[in-house]
Structure 1
Amino acid sequence: MAIIDLLMLLGVAALWGASFLFMRQAVSVLGPIPMIEARVLVAGLGLLLVAVIMRRVPNFRRDLWGFLVLGALMAAVPFTLIAAAELKITASLAAILNATTPLFALLVTSVRQGTRPSRTQLSGVVLGVAGVTVLVGLGPLHLDGMLILAALASLCASLFYALGGVYAKVRFSGTHPLVTTTGQQLGAAVCLLLPTLALPPRHPVTGGIVLAVLALALACTALGFALFFHLVNRVGPTGALTVTFFVPLFGLLYGTAFLGEPLSWSTPLGMSLVLGAVFLVTERRSATRGDAAPGRSATSTGWTPDRRSSHRSGPGRRRRRRPAGAPGRRR
């Protein structure tokens, strides 16, 4: 991986890790649903502006229901679950629990395709369960019913991410990532509109909260996703998904440095177990599936460049007709 790609990878991880910090700051004032509505709406409008400039505007008339479903699965529901969980758990713990997404992706894919995970992958799932147990049961927070519910909410968010990934691959295969991401965020905003009107914020909104939401929407969401998809096109999906290993590290760093969150021996131990589980689950896939070549679009992102018919070659191409009366070619 080139230096510029590594820096871009760390940049995505830093932005996505910061999202847990900003959610932790704003959720107690705005509430989970209004905060996420503001996040996806501002991010969607920012992405739509970029899509207009790049002439990649989503076809809402044709794909409206698809964007609504994708927005619910990959933004509205998981974002809200994580925000609600952060009313009880720390930002660093939420970031680490979110790293279990590849474990749920393995289970969802196995059920959908009717395949059995390998022994290595199953070992990864068991190791992931052990890591979550250490984080929740032996962590610095007092173990009670609310903590368990908050941890389950974070894990359910990872499950929804996995379901959304499968749906996106089936429903939006062949769609440019910018189009899909823009439609996803705006679809999530539509899904959360009525719940937000029914549950408005109960506390006065300060300038600091507004800045936290703007950073969450424009930097962590819009810019983070844009950089991630650009990274996928440069180094392929497997290389880009190694961001999963760095997001919890940044989440832990931010939570400890800026929020003064408690840190005990169980936190790095549990995080190591979870990241080891993710490595075991994704390692076999990395060895059997090649990445796209650098500088070319990865087909697994669902987007391939348009191919013009003028570039056809091979036995199936059309031959030019010689006009009637034209002299034949000399042998």
Structure 2
Amino acid sequence: MSTTDAPSARATSADAPAPGSAPAPVATSTASRSAQDAPAPRRTFAWQIRFAFLCLVWGFSFLFIKLGTEGFAPLQVSLGRVAFGALVLLVFLVIKRERLPRSARTWGHLAVAALLLNALPFSLFAYSELTIPSTLASICNATSPLWGMALSVVALSEDRPTRRRVAGLGIGFLGVLTVLGAWQGFSGTDLTGTAMALGASLSYPIGWIYVRRTLARDEHSHLAKSSAQLLLATLQLAVVTALFTPMPTAFPAVPLLAVFALGALGTGVAFLLQYGLVAEVGPTTAQMVTYFTPVIATASGVALLNEHLAWNTPVGAVIVLAGAALTQSKPRTS
């Protein structure tokens, strides 16, 4: 999914969530700082099961998007995604007896975050998969950390470029060119769809930087801010969808179930899992889900959607992930 769909659990702007990822990076960022500041809790075997489930959910998010667009317009898929995700978080908000934020300032900043981190990238990915395979969309999503590193150097003065990170950036974009088959003149690749998928992956770090500048010290709970953010994204997409998309005349079962899974599991439940993983095993381990998501998305696309896989796609994906890992790594201190 993201987003989903490849998430990041660290509090740096260079770590961008996937489209199938947690609905509210605001909460994840705050959770990351809490996890870094607090003593590491005792690990249990259960975290490995949750980690594997999160990889599967976000890996299958791109397949869910593809299936959803077979029965609904892209904006309707995105609207269903945020609506079902918001419903899940609101249920947990009630269970925990928490309240939504009351500050107008917080709601204003969350509205921008909802646009940059949910409404816009979710819609771009849905539109992109009308013309490109879900495998390519998932690999484009894996470039988010690369965009984030490049942007953080410009927008965040505390993020200084290092040789390691610059090398990772160069390697990552070399991988993108490999995936797209640049030596063949990008033949066989829909450039519009690919550009939309890359634009979606770029939207995530832009949103993270905005959140870091505006909501880093906000006192509201992670769950409350995440729920509010998805509610705002639902409102935004509801307005846009009503203006530009006619009401569906049918609700086919498979696309409808795909949208439900994309929202309830890939956006709502996935956030709760990610937040728990960050608190239990730390952000460094939790963010490793980023590197499994494209693998699962590629396997599901080839196996279940019969998508063609040329040699340069998996090779380029490995190069992209290697570059992304290098931009997020830190030199060992003795």
Name the SS for the 1:284 alignment partner: coil
- Tell me the residue number matched to 1:81: 124
Counterpart of 1:176 (choices 221, 237, 251) is 221
- Tell me the residue number matched to 1:99: 142
Report the RMSD for the aligned CA atoms in angstroms: 2.3
Counterpart of 1:232 (choices 271, 278, 289) is 278
Counterpart of 2:241 (choices 196, 199, 217) is 196
Specify whether residues 87 and 60 from structure 1 end up closer, same or farther in structure 2 by C-alpha distance, changes over 3 A only: farther
- Tell me the residue number matched to 1:260: 306
Is it true that 1:249 corresponds to 2:291 in the alignment?
no
8 Å CA contact 1:74, 1:160 repeated in 2: yes
- Tell me the residue number matched to 1:33: 75
| Alpha-carbon offset, residue 139 of structure 1 | 11
Cα distance in 1 for partners of 2:308, 2:44 equals 36
Specify whether residues 220 and 180 from structure 1 end up closer, same or farther in structure 2 by C-alpha distance, changes over 3 A only: same
Is it true that 1:133 corresponds to 2:165 in the alignment?
no
- Tell me the residue number matched to 1:72: 115
The amino acid that maps onto 1:249 is: V
Cα distance in 1 for partners of 2:247, 2:113 equals 26
| Alpha-carbon offset, residue 27 of structure 1 | 1.4
Cα distance in 2 for partners of 1:203, 1:282 equals 46
Cα distance in 1 for partners of 2:72, 2:268 equals 21
The amino acid that maps onto 1:185 is: L
Counterpart of 1:186 (choices 215, 231, 243) is 231
8 Å CA contact 2:121, 2:200 repeated in 1: yes
The amino acid that maps onto 2:252 is: T
1:311-326 matches, cutoff 5 A: none
Deviations 1:92-144 (A, max 9, x none): 1111110111111112221122354111111111111111111112699x836
Name the SS for the 1:246 alignment partner: helix
8 Å CA contact 2:86, 2:227 repeated in 1: yes
Name the SS for the 1:108 alignment partner: helix
Cα distance in 1 for partners of 2:138, 2:247 equals 25
- Tell me the residue number matched to 1:54: 96
Counterpart of 1:21 (choices 50, 60, 63) is 63
Between 221-230 and 55-64, the greater mean CA deviation after superposition: 55-64
| Alpha-carbon offset, residue 167 of structure 1 | 2.4
8 Å CA contact 1:70, 1:184 repeated in 2: yes
1:147-186 matches, cutoff 5 A: 147-173=190-216, 174-186=219-231
Cα distance in 2 for partners of 1:34, 1:193 equals 8
1:295-306 matches, cutoff 5 A: none
Specify whether residues 261 and 229 from structure 1 end up closer, same or farther in structure 2 by C-alpha distance, changes over 3 A only: same
Aligned residue pairs, count = 286
| Alpha-carbon offset, residue 147 of structure 1 | 1.1
Specify whether residues 266 and 19 from structure 1 end up closer, same or farther in structure 2 by C-alpha distance, changes over 3 A only: same
Cα distance in 2 for partners of 1:2, 1:272 equals 30
Cα distance in 1 for partners of 2:248, 2:256 equals 15
| Alpha-carbon offset, residue 153 of structure 1 | 1.2
The amino acid that maps onto 1:67 is: L
Cα distance in 2 for partners of 1:67, 1:46 equals 18
Name the SS for the 2:330 alignment partner: helix
Specify whether residues 204 and 122 from structure 1 end up closer, same or farther in structure 2 by C-alpha distance, changes over 3 A only: same
| Alpha-carbon offset, residue 179 of structure 1 | 1.8
TM-score, normalization by structure 1: 0.80
Counterpart of 2:315 (choices 266, 269, 277) is 269
- Tell me the residue number matched to 1:313: none
Cα distance in 1 for partners of 2:249, 2:134 equals 21
8 Å CA contact 2:181, 2:312 repeated in 1: no
- Tell me the residue number matched to 1:320: none
Q: Which residues of structure 2 form unaligned runs of 5+?
A: 1-42
TM-score, normalization by structure 2: 0.80
